[in-house]
Chains A and B, each alone.
Chain A
Amino acid sequence: MAHAHDDPTSENRAQSELTAGNRVAFVDQYPTAARVTRLCFGVSFTALLIGAVLGIVQALHRTNVFRGVISSVDYYTVLTGHGVLLALFFTIFFLSGVFSWGVARSLDRDLLSRRFSLFWFGLQLAGATAVALAIFGGFVGEIPFEADVLYTFYAPLQAHPLFYAGLAAWLVGTWLAGADWIRLYVRWRRDNGGERIPLQTFMVLTTTLMWYIATLGVAVEVLVFLLPLSLGLIDSVDPLLTRTLFWYFGHPVVYFWLMPAYFAWYTILPKLAGGRLFSDPLARVVFVLFLILSTPVGFHHQYADPGIAEGFKFVAMTNTMFLLLPSFLTAFTAVASIEYGARQRGGKGYLRWMTALPWSNPAFAGCALAGLMFAAGGFSGIVNAGMNINSLIHNTLWVPGHFHLTVGTASALTMMAISYWLYPQVTGKRLQFYGLAQIQPYVWFIGMALMSNAMHRAGLAGVPRRTAEPQYQQFSFEAVFGSVPEMRLQIAAGALLLTIGALLFVTVMAGTWLAERGRGRLRVDSHLPEPISGVSDSPRVLDNMKLWVVVAVVLVAIAYGFPIYSMLADGAFNPAAPPVPV
């Protein structure tokens, strides 16, 4: 048991902590929350499995290694499925699950109503299923569904109405999930007047509020423009406006991918490393910074767009650079907490302490390797964020190279790793195929190192993203580093390892799901040790959610008010572009 290595003489360890290493599994204590978490994880992992299969198909196709599965026209159906299932459903269903666990655990009470929780889960699932049907209908000629619009669905490309309706239903489901967590908190507050918000709940609340602010953009885009357009109720849209609304949501969505990972790195990883969180107040500062800064940056996805003044792009860039701050702070805290853990476990030396870490514990290894890749992703992200160097790599393969390090590893691998630790607790079942779980993070890490470095370099050679063909007729790409055939091979080999990594993970989860309860000790418990610097001496204003929401809204109004106003000034549907069905 990792936390058994904690320094036993440490004085701020409350007595309760020593006994609180609850031997009662989470599932028996909070059955509703456990059930919701299980269901959300089930959908999340299914999306991961399908997404990974689509991933290998497209990686082999576009590198010309194996093209027997799909035609180049179907490539975009596959790519839409990959993007939507992984970027939206795998991640957000996981978030819904892990947050349901986190609020129940940290507020020490179960979700209030099983019916309500199952309702929002059902709505999310129904929406996601509709979206998936609309996309995969594209493979079958006889089915009228068609949604090859990629996960960014830029108008005036037009998908089947089912795609937009499903998205809307799914969004409403996520809003209700947020309401469920908030209402549990409100109930807790009633019983615990002056207390500080428990850290995990604090993180859930800030993230949920961020989600409400950010999804407003995409909700307006879908409900006011795209759904009516696809139903023929309106006959044109202003593509720059809908694209701007998309990215108003599309950047913060990046943080919903990351927040479950940060949540895990702050509150669970220190324990897995054998130590304790370095500082609770700084964790709060980080989440508040995300809440207020993550929406007014969307224009950094539109550096290359006409019709947006350079000044707005500049404001977005400055905000973006400041948004590095919470991530820098997280890097510090994560490393410091891990090092503390290593030293508790007897680690010595300047760097040698690393060898004292539990590298054979898949939950720890996955989180740590994910964090390492995130650092690399941070560097390539700084290049993306600079508005002038951005034009070297905009929409090239560099960009997927970047975000497979961030969402595709920092988030995805952390989610998988945490599941090794959490899934047994919400099922009461011991993790099965432990040996597979132990190698899985390393397989993923090596696969991603291969695929991502080659994608970055291919991007520098100008190879575009989102294309089915490896080469063009009128010219050929010249590599700046390495050679083009070598890059293709690395992308394909990396993709293969990644897919194996995903299959290993799903095997472990499915095996655990199907296993019987009560066979073997759980090996894990959800007791989390107290941070080294506790919350008690930090300013109370940190917990003032209303204040932070107001600040966030004001910043959004500053960054978006004028540009949106100028797009609307000539009419919300002008300049008019009629729909182009895919």
Chain B
Amino acid sequence: MHVHRFERIWLVGSLLLIALFVATVTYGAVGAGYGMVDAEGGQVDGTDPTASENVREPGVYNGSEDGHYDVYVETQRFLFVPGTNEPIRVPANSTVTFHVTSSDVLHGFEVVGTNINTMTVPGQKATVTAEFDEPAEYGIVCNEYCGSGHHTMEGSLQVVPPSEFNETSEVQ
């Protein structure tokens, strides 16, 4: 079969480009250590996630090491608990793992302006880890349609200076 020379050049070029895309993403995942949401969080109860062993009551907890925190968030129509009625507060200079579950339908957990962006699915626990170097205030939005009040589902995340963070009262 006759393949025109230009077409052959184009074909090889395209394949190289594709290989390059795959390589950059592989580098991002393996080399730069960007952690995807994956199956690591494990399964949970579909309507009452906190009843499961791997989920704690909503709130901020000390993590496995110093400066690490675990934040348990439950999404439900149309609230982040915590997040909506009271902000999630963590100190700056910390590594935070969010454990996000849903007790009704699919939701999204997007920290606006960051790459913290995961789906929450009833029956699954999503875990995402992020580092917060500077004090800042972020919005949280639900970015998966969850029903007629979906557009009201929001919250906030406050990264406060360590001096303003009270380890004893704010950590459970």
Binding site for B on A (CB under 8 A): 72-73, 75-76, 79, 148, 150, 154, 156-157, 236, 238-240, 243, 278-279, 281-282, 302-310, 313-314, 317-318, 321-322, 324-325, 328-329, 332-333, 336, 382, 385-389, 391-392, 394-396, 461-462, 464-469, 472-478, 533, 537-539, 570, 574-578, 580, 582
Q: Are A306 and B119 in contact (CB under 8 A)?
A: yes
Binds A, one of B19-27, B62-70, B89-97, B162-170: B19-27
At the interface, yes or no: B132 with Cβ under 8 Å from chain A?
A: no
Residues of B within 8 A of A333 (CB): 7
Residues of B within 8 A of A322 (CB): 18
Residues of A within 8 A of B44 (CB): 575
Q: Are A575 and B14 in contact (CB under 8 A)?
A: no
From residue B106, how far is it (CB to closest CB) to chain A in Å?
A: 5
Residues of B within 8 A of A307 (CB): 39, 41, 43, 121, 123-124
From known contacts A156-B104, A306-B121, A575-B45, infer whether A336 and B6 are also in contact, taking CB-CB under 8 Å.
yes
From residue B87, how far is it (CB to closest CB) to chain A in Å?
A: 8
Residues of B within 8 A of A465 (CB): 143
From residue A58, how far is it (CB to closest CB) to chain B in Å?
A: 12
Q: Are B139 and A466 in contact (CB under 8 A)?
A: no
Q: Are B119 and A305 in contact (CB under 8 A)?
A: yes
Q: Which residue of A lies closest to B152 (CB)?
A: A469
Q: Pick from B15, B124, B143: contact of A394, CB below 8 A.
A: B143
In addition to A156-B122, A307-B41, A310-B38, 4 A-B residue pairs with Cβ atoms within 8 Å of each other are A156-B105, A306-B121, A392-B117, A580-B104
Q: Are B10 and A328 in contact (CB under 8 A)?
A: yes
From known contacts A329-B11, A388-B36, A576-B46, infer whether A462 and B110 are also in contact, taking CB-CB under 8 Å.
yes
Q: Pick from B37, B45, B156: contact of A304, CB below 8 A.
A: B37
Residues of A within 8 A of B122 (CB): 156, 239, 575, 577
**B101-130 contacts to A (CB < 8 Å):** 104-106, 108, 110, 112-113, 115-127
Q: Pick from A72, A461, A469, A475: contact of B156, CB below 8 A.
A: A475
**B135-167 contacts to A (CB < 8 Å):** 137-139, 141-152, 154-156
From known contacts A317-B22, A577-B47, infer whether A157 and B147 are also in contact, taking CB-CB under 8 Å.
yes
Q: Are B118 and A321 in contact (CB under 8 A)?
A: no
From residue B156, how far is it (CB to closest CB) to chain A in Å?
A: 5
Q: Are A382 and B110 in contact (CB under 8 A)?
A: no
Q: Pick from A154, A278, A313: contact of B4, CB below 8 A.
A: A278
Question: How far is it, in angstroms, between the C-alpha of A461 and the C-alpha of B127 when the chains are bound?
Answer: 23
Chain B interface mostly: mixed
Q: Pick from A278, A396, A466, A538: contact of B1, CB below 8 A.
A: A538
From residue B32, how far is it (CB to closest CB) to chain A in Å?
A: 8
Q: Are B154 and A472 in contact (CB under 8 A)?
A: yes
Question: How far is it, in angstroms, between the C-alpha of A539 and the C-alpha of B127 when the chains are bound?
Answer: 50
From known contacts A305-B37, A309-B39, infer whether A386 and B141 are also in contact, taking CB-CB under 8 Å.
no
Question: How far is it, in angstroms, between the C-alpha of A328 and the C-alpha of B11 when the chains are bound?
Answer: 8
Question: How far is it, in angstroms, between the C-alpha of A545 and the C-alpha of B32 when the chains are bound?
Answer: 43
Question: How far is it, in angstroms, between the C-alpha of A104 and the C-alpha of B10 when the chains are bound?
Answer: 34
Q: Pick from B108, B112, B145: contact of A150, CB below 8 A.
A: B145
Residues of B within 8 A of A392 (CB): 115, 117
Residues of A within 8 A of B139 (CB): 462, 472, 474-477
Question: How far is it, in angstroms, between the C-alpha of A324 and the C-alpha of B116 when the chains are bound?
Answer: 27
Question: How far is it, in angstroms, between the C-alpha of A76 and the C-alpha of B146 when the chains are bound?
Answer: 10
Q: Pick from B118, B121, B143: contact of A464, CB below 8 A.
A: B143
Question: How far is it, in angstroms, between the C-alpha of A391 and the C-alpha of B34 when the chains are bound?
Answer: 10
Q: Are B22 and A318 in contact (CB under 8 A)?
A: yes
Q: Are A474 and B155 in contact (CB under 8 A)?
A: yes
For this complex, 19 residue pairs linking A to B, each with C-beta atoms less than 8 Å apart, are A148-B148, A154-B106, A157-B105, A157-B145, A157-B146, A303-B36, A305-B126, A306-B125, A307-B43, A321-B22, A386-B25, A387-B36, A395-B143, A461-B113, A464-B143, A469-B151, A477-B139, A578-B47, A580-B147
From known contacts A306-B127, A472-B139, infer whether A279 and B4 are also in contact, taking CB-CB under 8 Å.
yes
Q: Are A387 and B25 in contact (CB under 8 A)?
A: yes
At the interface, yes or no: B77 with Cβ under 8 Å from chain A?
A: yes
Q: Which residue of A lies closest to B127 (CB)?
A: A306
In this complex, the member of A239, A322, A392, A396 whose beta carbon has the largest number of chain B beta carbons within 10 angstroms is A239
From residue A488, how far is it (CB to closest CB) to chain B in Å?
A: 15
Question: How far is it, in angstroms, between the C-alpha of A386 and the C-alpha of B155 when the chains are bound?
Answer: 28
Residues of B within 8 A of A476 (CB): 139
Question: How far is it, in angstroms, between the C-alpha of A9 and the C-alpha of B87 when the chains are bound?
Answer: 77
Q: Are B150 and A321 in contact (CB under 8 A)?
A: no
Residues of B within 8 A of A310 (CB): 29, 36, 38-39
